[in-house]
Structure 1
């Protein structure tokens, strides 16, 4: 995929709660420069916007770029450029005018979107033809996702489309979700969700998901149950969504699937059990793109989404 899809030099930014990554893409899509820095997540939205602008300047000291694309944590409405909802992983991030605020700081037009949708962009572009459909899930600290139908990424009202972690899951019945509701997929299928389920089963605390995965590999019954319950819950939700959307490809990324075959096999089995006949044979696969996917997808946003220009906040 050519990140500089508009044939221009562009900057891609990937904003996470811990780290901010930047890359300068030449007109042919090759990476000319990279930079990363800690995200000042506890210092508030203005400090985060400043850090984004500084990261952009680091990769483009000669001011060659014509636009900036940013993939950001939180619920982002690309039409307004506003973060419509967010957790406190970045303090006071909800309500931030991301597009206009970053444009003001960089002097460049800015396109912005949710980080998972941006990461899914290269996966969609890799499908044959121009009308592919994609179901993309990112399972890590939370459960995010992206939906694309007939070649078009779905954004929805307030930019909320694709938040798969907040679909109902029977396995999560009665469990409180970070969004304030109960019974959502994220609280049973995410890394912290699987870890918490193991703690409920055993009455003991563990430090992280990898500890549960290690115990599961050694045959610990509760650990196996926690991992496979979370995986099966994710697989069932994805299978149901596949029936609704008819995707050509289903991608499952994020840190949780990397814990091993026990998780992947349970997810795939639950997914297959939900599929209608025309979709039999469709299987979840890992992402095609590596660590560059988010900045690559962010840069490509400059050719597909509305641009927010300097001066809008004056």
Structure 2
């Protein structure tokens, strides 16, 4: 109910009913998967579907897979009215232009007119965001206790991060804030990164780095799920590799903790399910950060889980296209 213009006496009120078929599409691409959801007018996820998709196949094939997955998801919802979409991609995405900027693990995506192609395929306005930044916003929304200043890290096949400051998602001057993937770190010297440089955080702290290490030791590792599965069952080689990688991430994060003084560091992504990884990150942050910045610092795993990015994207999509108001009753 909202106030209408007064004609004398009590201000008139208009009762506005939002269509119950109004919906927004939200989708998160990972290195090898697509997680797709339909969000309702109440910012809840009506349904979610995950499927295997390889973003290295390039934009046309990836967008076609998105369209096919959407058709399957809504096949039994003929009255659904999609008003807009928000899509998260696993690379540096400018919030100003919607463009991917030299995405190291997404060959063929640099310079592609992704927004135009997505809007043509989906038939609705589209917002594009980085997956870790979307996850940061989703984690902020999902928590019952507000944490206005937090760093969210998505630790999966790759490494990404997002920052919430005073309750707002930080995009930075060029719209690409949060990309810690290619920060040079000690211990990674000489390691070749997918970005073309050497010594980046991703080469020692990501799921892809752990997978390469374990394969080099003769283990049969096909995916990040195999990595987490071995570590969760305390396989000695996997546990050692996971702890070493977690320590590298925690050491890198300590500089951000010292500089930004967040209230919390939240770990998401597949590796956040591995206790040894989380413990190593926590220990390294405490060891390498100033006491005054960690005295009340919370270092926790995600409460939003694998839906973190979709929850954040729901807010982004709804802000870009507010709910329709087809009916109005006045009294």
| Range class of TM-score, shorter chain | 0.7 to 0.9
Q: 2:249 corresponds to which residue? A: 234
Query: TM-score normalized by structure 1?
Result: 0.80
Q: Which runs of 5+ in 2 are unaligned?
A: 1-21, 222-226, 323-331
Q: Do residues 147 (structure 1) and 163 (structure 2) align?
A: yes
Q: Aligned with 2:81: secondary structure?
A: coil
What are the residue-to-residue correspondences of 1:93-172 with 2, within 5 Å?
93-126=109-142, 132-156=148-172, 158-172=174-188
Is the 2:101–2:110 Cα contact (8 Å) retained in structure 1? yes
The count of residues paired between Structure 1 and Structure 2 equals 293
Query: TM-score normalized by structure 2?
Result: 0.76
What are the residue-to-residue correspondences of 1:1-314 with 2, within 5 Å?
9-39=23-53, 41=55, 43-57=57-71, 58-59=73-74, 61-88=78-105, 90-126=106-142, 132-156=148-172, 158-197=174-213, 204-208=217-221, 209-210=227-228, 213=231, 217=234, 220=236, 225-260=240-275, 262-276=276-290, 277-304=292-319
CA RMSD, 1 decimal: 3.1
Distance 1:198 1:80, change over 3 A: same
Q: Aligned with 2:306: secondary structure?
A: coil
Q: 1:4 corresponds to which residue? A: none
Is the 1:140–1:191 Cα contact (8 Å) retained in structure 2? yes
Structure 1 residue 75: deviation in Å?
1.7
Is the 1:195–1:206 Cα contact (8 Å) retained in structure 2? no
Is the 1:188–1:230 Cα contact (8 Å) retained in structure 2? yes
Q: Which runs of 5+ in 1 are unaligned?
A: 1-7, 308-314
CA distance in structure 2 between the aligned counterparts of 1:182 and 1:305, rounded to whole angstroms: 39
Alpha-carbon deviations, 1:19-75, whole Å to 9, x = none? 323222221123334444443646531232233334444436434121111112222
CA distance in structure 2 between the aligned counterparts of 1:153 and 1:166, rounded to whole angstroms: 21
